[in-house]
Structure 1
Amino acid sequence: EDLITEEEMVVTFTHAGYIKAQPVTVFNAQRRGGKGKMATTTKEEDFVERMFCASTHAYCLFFSNLGKVFWQKVYQLPQAGRGAKGKPIVNMLSLAPTERITAVLPVRDFTEGQFVCMVTSHGVVKKTPVMEYSRPRSQGINAINLDPGDRLVAVGLSDGQREFMLFTRHGMAVRFPEAKTRAMGRNARGVRGISLEENDRVISAQWVDSSQVILTTTANGYGKLTEVDEYRRTNRGGKGVIAIQTNARNGDVVGALAVTERDELMLVSDHGTLIRIAINSIRRTGRNAQGVRLINLGEGEQLAGLALIADTEEEEGEQTDLPQ
């Protein structure tokens, strides 16, 4: 590793699971209003879901839906130019047939005071010191012990003082301080984050602040924006409050995201239809509102997923400013 030159890299990870790294120096600074440069190309049905800058000596932690974590140094990631899509992550990690990557976290150093926070579909939350993940194995290590049928749905890196919001398939949401969750070891199960009704499950978890708004979307293509402060703070483990109506018109909740007016969103249907929407084109409504149509779906077609789009063009201004 001492022979590896330390430099900043731009890492992109796509919805379909392709990853690559390229030097930040390929993005020359432009004056405000410049056209920008594409950071990557993707297949028509794919898009960049995660993009960040990290040193070649930093680590990428890959968390799977089965509760395992894998890691590689950034310099070990496939390097490719702007015109290449990268390599499939499944060819780089020892994943089981049903295993997929839920989250990618860049970590510069394994230091005290940082935590990996995890949320499962059964409503379990867990906070573990990042130091617990500093000794990897080629086959991956356990990040969380999951109950039968449970899956890891969200992972974030935090200082332990932020706020959680959990969202369920049947339209409920709970908001509570992360400090209400004690730190525990890597092999622990975690604690109850939300009490679920029968057949309900957590489909999204977000770390929020009052400057953001919450976007909730449903299977039939409807969605809405609601102020974070419309969701009152409650105790961890409660049933929560209604985030959006789940009725015959809307269907179940597919996803929820904490967003700002500057963000853009990609919606994906189960038939492969993609649509890109500016957040500022969606009107804000109250917590109990049904929402507005975000995507026109065909007969038998449903919304399958959503993600914020990482900005794959160079930012405007006098210096390169890529998303972290």
Structure 2
Amino acid sequence: MESQQIIRTEYSDVMKKSYIDYAMSVIIARALPDVRDGLKPVQRRTLYDMHELGIRYDKPYRKCARIVGDTMGKYHPHGDSSIYEALVVMAQDFKKGMILVDGHGNFGSIEGDGAAAMRYTEARLAKFTQDAFLADLDKDIVDFVPNFDETEKEPEVLPVRVPNLLVNGAEGIAVGMATSIPTHNLGEVIDAVKAYMKNDAISTKQLMKYVKGPDFPTGGIVVNKDDLLNIYETGSGKIKIRGKVEVEDMKGGKKRLVITEIPYTMIGAGIGKFLNDVCALVESKKTSDIVDISNQSSKEGIRIVIELKKGADVENLTNMLYKKTRLEDTFGVNMLAVADGRPETMGLKKIIEHHVDFQFELATRKYKNLLAKELDKKEIQEGLIKACDVIDLIIEILRGSQNVKDAKACLTQGITENIKFKSKISQKMAAMLRFTERQATAILEMRLYKLIGLEIEALQKEHDETLKKIERYEDILNNYNSMSDVIIEELDQYKKEFGRKRRTVVENAEEAVFEEKKIEEQEVMFLMDRFGYAKTIDLPTYERNKEAADSENKYVVSCMNTGKLCIFTNTGKMHQMKVLDLPFGKFRDKGLPVDNVSNYDSTQEEIVYICDAEQMRFAKLLFATKQGMIKKVEGTEFQVAKRTIVATKFQDGDELLCVQVITDNQHVVLQTRDGFFLRFPAEEVSEKKKGAIGVRGIKLKKDDELENVYLFVEGTEAKVAFKEKEVTLNRLKIGKRDTQGVKNRG
């Protein structure tokens, strides 16, 4: 039996180390882009796999399922959904500044529709990706690392020639950190890179002469231009973006607002949310100027049409849309990326600096490799040219040799022992030959047609070309300016071929201010049925339907339409709701559940009392619990701004039975479930704070509890039903609080 070694360790230390390892893995190998190529690992692997599969921009499309399967099997073993989602986003022109994948089929829409399944869609690399991301991979200009099972090699970073991190932006949530980088205009970013290369002491402010601000694929207007300098210096901040609203004239002097561009943050479900928000503004009577809203967006672009009433205040309504909907939204910037193997928040200049360093690294490796190839060529060409001059001697050596080894030894070292020569002169000349190993091999492999005059001339020409190339490559490698010129020339080429006009306008706009239409204050009646559906109606409607309203509704409360209502529940909470949040209209309208307009939850609590918040200010409230505890509380204690407060305290297992307005000239009658009635004057009820439990109102027998509380004024007749018999309250004997009361057998 093998001896086992048990290592004792602190559990918390193991957990800490494991979590840090996991966090770093998520940060570096999943969620954050690399500052050099602006790609997350899943994007890099997908593009590289498409390159390896030969799915170029000029080749036919291939099924996405093939691309996803190949990427997952070779490089990214984290499930097909993450790979396909990354592939889809790289093909969506409304999400990326420059699309990296040319998609064919349903790749989703700006309104939030998802892409079709990967078995239906097809894709290939975009020309931009082919030229600017994957060129020169064969020239050993980036390091290759083993894949997850060490059966393949994958590039550590793609040789991207443009600052993709800025051009396409990035979004990602890691552990304890997140990145959010807006998209930018390719031409502007290239100009900024060129400016930095010409003067690396350039300031962020000077760089912003080239990079005006974010350039979102959805257009829109950035309205806080003055904040951008700080955002680009620090790498974090908030960008305010608005949709573009145009005013169109209609027949009959009416106008309509047409939204042709939306904030980048509204992509997806945000458009549907915006339409709902506008409908909500109309329903809640915040505006009465909107007649209709329709989404007429198509492949041609966004077109959301809001038809207005004649004489509507267009400017005020536009400002209301900016203020009350997501037509004006905030894009949180946090330019976090992996730089030198660790996450770092970087400003505009820092990102460009990293990009330029990477370009010089790529160029150095590329031209070193090209130079090495040309030097090899030069060596062979020189050997062949020299060989052509002494071709008769070489033929004599070859004919006189017994094997290749002897011939090669003669060509490289002048060893003539094993070779038969026609003359001593030839042998002497052969002994003087000193071709290199490579040259000798090339001579031995040379075909006879190469001895034709024109071929010798072409060889000489080729040699001259090689010398020119060597001179150029050495100049690039040894001269900073020459390398800069090469990089800038490449950048200009990309700008010319792929650059496009800016879509997002950057300006300083005034804060959107609108005047809310003042609601005409009026007294209304609040009605709530036994199912919890509530509404408000005007007084004349209530007077006409008084009998039906009183009999069909559990609560009927008079209040002002601008006020609030208080809901007291059996759990001892008080919830407030605005009267304006309730539907106002016809008597037979269904209404809304009070759960929808307040924090009240009908599944967890029961309503014991509803009253108008303003009227309560001048009253005292009687609280009674099932365990017989009672108290009086000043109504002013419930004049609070919070939507929910604790209205009273309880003993264990108790719950609130009732809340009523009480006056000192009244009498209180407490009735228990077993039929005990106790009558005493209201002044015997102690006045307490809302946080108090109260005093005992009645002594309860075992297993009995308080069931009803009645109030009446002395001298008036008050009758109630108990077990199908009538009890006259004012005939009950007056007792003392905290006694048993008298038993009524019903």
TM-score in same-fold range (> 0.5):
yes
TM tier relative to shorter chain: 0.5 to 0.7
- The answer as to whether partners of 1:115 and 1:160 remain within 8 angstroms in 2 is no
Give the corresponding residue for 1:241: 742
Q: Quick check: which has more Rg, 1 or 2?
A: 2
1:88 equivalent to 2:593? Answer yes
Q: C-alpha distance in 1, partners of 2:620/2:524?
A: 24
Deviation at 1:197, TM superposition (A): 0.3
Give the corresponding residue for 1:102: 608
Q: C-alpha distance in 2, partners of 1:124/1:185?
A: 14
Give the corresponding residue for 2:583: 78
Fraction of identical pairs, as percent? 22
In the alignment, which of 662, 665, 668 is matched to residue 164 of structure 1?
668
- The answer as to whether partners of 1:163 and 1:208 remain within 8 angstroms in 2 is yes
Deviation at 1:127, TM superposition (A): 0.8
Deviations 1:197-248 (A, max 9, x none): 0000011111113423332333xxxx122222221111111101123x2xxx
Q: C-alpha distance in 1, partners of 2:593/2:547?
A: 17
Deviations 1:253-312 (A, max 9, x none): xxxxxxxxxxxxxxxxxxxxxxxxxxxxxxxxxxxxx3xxxxxxxxxxxxxxxxxxxxxx
Deviation at 1:110, TM superposition (A): 5.5
- The answer as to whether partners of 2:528 and 2:534 remain within 8 angstroms in 1 is yes
In terms of fraction of residues, the more strand-rich structure is: 1
SS in 1 for 2:702: coil
In the alignment, which of 637, 647, 664 is matched to residue 143 of structure 1?
647
Higher relative contact order (CA 8 A, sep 6+): 1
In the alignment, which of 671, 685, 700 is matched to residue 196 of structure 1?
700
SS in 2 for 1:90: helix
Deviation at 1:90, TM superposition (A): 2.4
In the alignment, which of 15, 19, 31 is matched to residue 534 of structure 2?
19
- The answer as to whether partners of 1:59 and 1:71 remain within 8 angstroms in 2 is yes
1:7 equivalent to 2:511? Answer no
Q: C-alpha distance in 2, partners of 1:212/1:239?
A: 23
Deviation at 1:131, TM superposition (A): 0.7
* Alignment gaps of 5+ in structure 1: 29-35, 246-289, 291-324
Q: What is the identity, as a one-letter code, of the residue corresponding to 1:22? A: I
SS in 2 for 1:174: strand
In the alignment, which of 545, 556, 565 is matched to residue 37 of structure 1?
545
TM-score for the superposition, normalised by structure 1:
0.64
- Structure 2 matches for 1:191-270, cutoff 5 A? 191-209=695-713, 210-218=715-723, 223-243=724-744, 245=745
Deviation at 1:89, TM superposition (A): 1.8
1:130 equivalent to 2:635? Answer yes
Deviation at 1:87, TM superposition (A): 1.5
TM-score for the superposition, normalised by structure 2:
0.29
Q: C-alpha distance in 2, partners of 1:122/1:134?
A: 27
Deviation at 1:111, TM superposition (A): 3.9
Q: C-alpha distance in 1, partners of 2:537/2:661?
A: 23
Q: C-alpha distance in 1, partners of 2:574/2:649?
A: 12
Deviation at 1:167, TM superposition (A): 0.8
- The answer as to whether partners of 1:54 and 1:106 remain within 8 angstroms in 2 is yes
Q: C-alpha distance in 2, partners of 1:176/1:2?
A: 52
- The answer as to whether partners of 1:40 and 1:81 remain within 8 angstroms in 2 is no
The structure-2 alpha-carbon separation of the partners of 1:2 and 1:214, relative to structure 1 and needing over 3 Å to count, comes to farther
CA RMSD in angstroms, aligned pairs only = 2.6
- The answer as to whether partners of 2:572 and 2:649 remain within 8 angstroms in 1 is yes
Deviation at 1:161, TM superposition (A): 3.7
Q: What is the identity, as a one-letter code, of the residue corresponding to 1:149? A: G
The structure-2 alpha-carbon separation of the partners of 1:7 and 1:174, relative to structure 1 and needing over 3 Å to count, comes to same
- The answer as to whether partners of 1:40 and 1:83 remain within 8 angstroms in 2 is no
The structure-2 alpha-carbon separation of the partners of 1:38 and 1:125, relative to structure 1 and needing over 3 Å to count, comes to closer
Deviations 1:149-183 (A, max 9, x none): 11111111133442211111100111111211221
Q: What is the identity, as a one-letter code, of the residue corresponding to 1:37? A: N
Deviations 1:75-115 (A, max 9, x none): 33332311113122223322353211111112435645x21
Q: C-alpha distance in 2, partners of 1:176/1:136?
A: 36
Q: What is the identity, as a one-letter code, of the residue corresponding to 1:79? A: F
Give the corresponding residue for 2:87: none
Deviation at 1:40, TM superposition (A): 7.0
Deviation at 1:50, TM superposition (A): 2.1
Give the corresponding residue for 1:249: none
Q: What is the identity, as a one-letter code, of the residue corresponding to 1:182? A: S
Q: C-alpha distance in 1, partners of 2:668/2:558?
A: 25
Q: C-alpha distance in 1, partners of 2:738/2:546?
A: 44
Q: C-alpha distance in 2, partners of 1:121/1:130?
A: 22
Q: C-alpha distance in 2, partners of 1:131/1:189?
A: 18
- The answer as to whether partners of 1:39 and 1:82 remain within 8 angstroms in 2 is no
Q: C-alpha distance in 1, partners of 2:580/2:548?
A: 18
Deviations 1:18-63 (A, max 9, x none): 21101113357xxxxxxx4378789xxx931221322223432110
1:61 equivalent to 2:576? Answer no
Moved more, 77-86 or 179-188: 77-86
The structure-2 alpha-carbon separation of the partners of 1:39 and 1:81, relative to structure 1 and needing over 3 Å to count, comes to farther
Q: C-alpha distance in 1, partners of 2:542/2:731?
A: 40
Give the corresponding residue for 2:687: 183
Deviation at 1:4, TM superposition (A): 2.7
1:153 equivalent to 2:668? Answer no
Q: C-alpha distance in 1, partners of 2:717/2:652?
A: 35
SS in 2 for 1:108: helix
Moved more, 114-123 or 176-185: 176-185
Q: C-alpha distance in 1, partners of 2:517/2:694?
A: 38
Deviation at 1:132, TM superposition (A): 0.5
The structure-2 alpha-carbon separation of the partners of 1:149 and 1:24, relative to structure 1 and needing over 3 Å to count, comes to same
